[in-house]
Amino acid sequence: MAKLQAIRGMNDILPAQTSTWQALEAAFHRVVNRFGYQEIRFPVLEQTQLFKRSIGEVTDIVEKEMYSFDDRNGDNLSLRPEGTAGCVRAADQHGLLYNQQQRLWYQGPMFRHERPQKGRYRQFQQFGVEAFGMSGPDIDAELIQLSADLWRELDIAEALVLQINNIGASAERKAFGAALTAYLEAHSERLDDDARNRLYSNPLRILDSKNPDMQALLAEAPVLADYVSEESVSHFEELKALLSNAGVAFEVNPRLVRGLDYYNNCVFEWVTDSLGAQGTVCGGGRYDGLVEQLGGKPTVAAGFAMGAERLVLMLETLDKVPQQVPTSLYIVVPNGLAKEAQSLAATLRGEMPEQRIISHCGGGKPASQLKRAFSLGARYAILLDSEGLDQGVVRLRELKDGGEEATLTLDEAPVQIAQRLLRA
Ligand code: HAM
């Protein structure tokens, strides 16, 4: 019978890569902690309505990419395609939002039925941050600074560019959308299929087109900046000043509109050219109307999320993968000495809880056990033998060319080994 395979676009992450993932997670946790954000966890399954009402009925995500199904009760549920909707639902349901300020973060898998390619998967991991109850551009600047701090921690800041835009309020975007549709209708013979499909349902997404002919046509099109309110313009100007003051470089990209409907005023993306087509590693912005739209009391908000797979790919491409923590010590255990080996290992782990100590299991010749110790990159091996144990000593070997071999008494072994491990 054929072996079962993972679902297309859903990746297994194997031990050779998990240390990179752990380093990325640890860096994200350090940074959100440093900025005073608190973790929130919410389910991967929600009512489909939640995503329809937040992300928008005519977005690609809701129209084409959700994993939706009727459960055994006949409720229509969806795997979460992103975290903001669930975060707002959870925070509001538990009374965390009204008249309060919250700084929250989450991480976890998201699901979108997209065409898989490098950097684009059907199950992917996001790190997200959401801030509630703060209306000024200061919180927008803080969110961007937080992300910039993470790029510095990961040593990838040089490879990322920040793009920002002011997309105004939803009514303003509607008016602009109508003007854009009218302009494009007047040039209908030049529209590609994608633009034709979106002309009436979601004209702003046409601005994202990568087709050079469409870009040429769009160069003459109405611009969103002419439709947004004075108030949103001054918010945006203040954000720019705060970013400059913080030393965060940015580009204003008037075409940046984002693929989810809940945004207003400033939006941003961090992009890289080191990943090919899927170059956006992080995106977000303000979404002042969403809490109310989902039935909560009016509560302003802003946030962003980043794709962990894309960050891991970046670390690999730029050769910034953190070094694996090596095995400190491998205990070579001749047949019949399992009991002695395990109690020695327990003592050593008790004395050096931060060190990685492996006691060989499964028997076999000492020479092949030693080979395994080398292949794991262990720094030292203890070579147990019953004669030595009878005399209360063990042999410690440094596993490198010309490495020393020392005979240690069982009593002094923990201190001696700890000293050697610290020295190098
Ligand atoms: P988004 O732009 O849809 O925004 O996704 C955020 C990030 O998730 C992207 O920049 C990308 O790095 C990653 N991502 C998206 N789709 C995929 C995929 N199929 N495969 C791999 N990575 C992917 C949101 O999700 C918003 N909830 C962000 C937000 C939070 N806005 C405000 N608060």
Q: Which atom of ligand 1 is nearest to the CA of 121?
A: 20
pLDDT for position 323 = 85
Q: CA 98 to CA 85: how far, in whole Å?
A: 17
The C-alpha angle 398, 400, 403, rounded to 5 degrees, equals: 50
Q: CA 352 to CA 305: how far, in whole Å?
A: 38
Q: CA 237 to CA 410: how far, in whole Å?
A: 69
In one letter, which amino acid is 401?
A: D
Check if the beta carbon of residue 112 is closer than 8 Å to that of residue 83: no
Compute the distance from residue 15 Cα to the ligand 1 centre, in Å. 25
Compute the distance from residue 98 Cα to the ligand 1 centre, in Å. 26
If asked whether residues 250 and 372 sit together in one domain, one would say no
Report if residue 366 sits inside a domain.
Answer: yes
Residue 89, SS3? helix
Report if residue 203 sits inside a domain.
Answer: no
If asked whether residues 300 and 403 sit together in one domain, one would say no
Among 268, 288, 317, where does a domain finish?
Answer: 317
Its domain, for residue 348, covers 329-423
Give the model confidence (pLDDT) of 356-411 as tens digits: 999 999 999 999 999 999 999 999 999 999 999 999 999 999 999 888 999 999 99
Compute the distance from residue 112 Cα to the ligand 1 centre, in Å. 10
Among protein residues, the one whose CA lies closest to atom 14 of ligand 1:
307
Average pLDDT over residues 26-51: 98
- Cα dihedral 57, 58, 62, 63 sign: positive
Partners of 331 in beta bridges:
359, 382
Tokens matching residue 100:
């309060």
In one letter, which amino acid is 411?
A: D
In one letter, which amino acid is 95?
A: G
Rg (CA), the chain: 28
Report if residue 267 sits inside a domain.
Answer: yes
User: If you search the block for the tokens 């998990």, which residue do you land on?
Assistant: 18
Residue 73, SS3? coil
Compute the distance from residue 258 Cα to the ligand 1 centre, in Å. 10
Q: Domain containing 372 — which CATH number?
A: 3.40.50.800
Residues 6+ apart with CB under 8 A from 89: 42, 46, 50, 294
Compute the distance from residue 82 Cα to the ligand 1 centre, in Å. 7
Q: In testing the pocket of ligand 1, which one of 87, 103, 110, 299 has its CB within 8 Å of the most ligand atoms?
A: 110
Average pLDDT over residues 231-257: 96
Among protein residues, the one whose CA lies closest to atom 1 of ligand 1:
283
Q: In testing the pocket of ligand 1, which one of 118, 126, 267, 275 has its CB within 8 Å of the most ligand atoms?
A: 126
Mean pLDDT, rounded, of the chain: 95
Q: In testing the pocket of ligand 1, which one of 115, 280, 288, 293 has its CB within 8 Å of the most ligand atoms?
A: 280
Compute the distance from residue 129 Cα to the ligand 1 centre, in Å. 12
Extract long-range pairs of 393-399: CB within 8 Å, 24+ residues apart.
394/344, 396/420, 399/330, 399/373, 399/374
Compute the distance from residue 346 Cα to the ligand 1 centre, in Å. 45
Return phi, psi of residue 385, to 5°: -150, 155
User: If you search the block for the tokens 């033998």, which residue do you land on?
Assistant: 385
Q: In testing the pocket of ligand 1, which one of 310, 312, 314, 315 has its CB within 8 Å of the most ligand atoms?
A: 310
pLDDT for position 424 = 66
Q: In testing the pocket of ligand 1, which one of 51, 112, 124, 164 has its CB within 8 Å of the most ligand atoms?
A: 124
Average pLDDT over residues 306-320: 97
Average pLDDT over residues 244-258: 94
By the 10 Å C-beta count (0-12 exposed, 13-18 middle, 19+ buried), 422 is classed as: exposed
Q: CA 180 to CA 140: how far, in whole Å?
A: 28
Compute the distance from residue 127 Cα to the ligand 1 centre, in Å. 9
pLDDT for position 257 = 87
Report if residue 49 sits inside a domain.
Answer: yes
Among 317, 346, 373, where does a domain finish?
Answer: 317
CA distances from 82 to 38, 56, 95, 106, 126 (A): 19, 13, 22, 11, 8
Tokens matching residue 60:
């690609």
If asked whether residues 124 and 165 sit together in one domain, one would say yes
If asked whether residues 266 and 343 sit together in one domain, one would say no
Report if residue 3 sits inside a domain.
Answer: no
Instruction: Output the furthest CA–CA distance in the chain (Å, rounded).
Output: 95
pLDDT for position 275 = 93
If asked whether residues 148 and 70 sit together in one domain, one would say yes
> What confidence category does residue 277 fall into, taking pLDDT thresholds of 50, 70 and 90?
confident
Give the model confidence (pLDDT) of 117-156 as tens digits: 999 999 999 999 999 999 999 999 999 999 999 999 999 9
If asked whether residues 388 and 265 sit together in one domain, one would say no
Q: Which atom of ligand 1 is nearest to the CA of 85?
A: 27
Half-sphere exposure (CA, 13 Å, Cβ side) for 189? 0
The count of other CB atoms within 10 Å of the CB of residue 258 is 20
Among protein residues, the one whose CA lies closest to atom 26 of ligand 1:
305
If asked whether residues 400 and 356 sit together in one domain, one would say yes
Selection from 385, 386, 388 nearest residue 409 by Cα:
388
Q: Which atom of ligand 1 is nearest to the CA of 120?
A: 20
Among protein residues, the one whose CA lies closest to atom 23 of ligand 1:
307
Structurally, how many domains does the chain consist of?
2
Q: Domain containing 287 — which CATH number?
A: 3.30.930.10
Report if residue 188 sits inside a domain.
Answer: no
Selection from 239, 255, 166 nearest residue 203 by Cα:
255
If asked whether residues 40 and 94 sit together in one domain, one would say yes
CA distances from 391 to 125, 336, 385, 407 (A): 54, 17, 10, 11
Report if residue 211 sits inside a domain.
Answer: no
Report if residue 302 sits inside a domain.
Answer: yes
User: If you search the block for the tokens 């002011």, which residue do you land on?
Assistant: 166
Among 317, 341, 367, where does a domain finish?
Answer: 317
If asked whether residues 312 and 335 sit together in one domain, one would say no
Pocket around ligand 1 at a 6 A CB cut-off:
82-84, 112, 114, 120-121, 124, 126, 128, 130, 259-260, 280-284, 287, 303-307, 309-310
If asked whether residues 127 and 254 sit together in one domain, one would say yes
Q: CA 268 to CA 258: how far, in whole Å?
A: 8
Q: Which atom of ligand 1 is nearest to the CA of 270?
A: 10
If asked whether residues 290 and 362 sit together in one domain, one would say no
pLDDT for position 208 = 81
Selection from 87, 82, 85 nearest residue 38 by Cα:
87
Give the model confidence (pLDDT) of 161-177 as tens digits: 999 999 999 889 989 99
By the 10 Å C-beta count (0-12 exposed, 13-18 middle, 19+ buried), 25 is classed as: middle
Give the model confidence (pLDDT) of 318-368 as tens digits: 999 988 888 999 999 999 999 999 999 999 999 999 999 999 999 999 999
Among protein residues, the one whose CA lies closest to atom 17 of ligand 1:
120
Q: Which atom of ligand 1 is nearest to the CA of 305?
A: 28
End-to-end CA distance of the chain: 52
Compute the distance from residue 152 Cα to the ligand 1 centre, in Å. 20
If asked whether residues 86 and 150 sit together in one domain, one would say yes
More confident: 208 or 366: 366
DSSP letters spanning 288-344: TTHHHHTTS----EEEEEEEHHHHHHHHHHTT-PPPPPPP-EEEE--TT-HHHHHHH
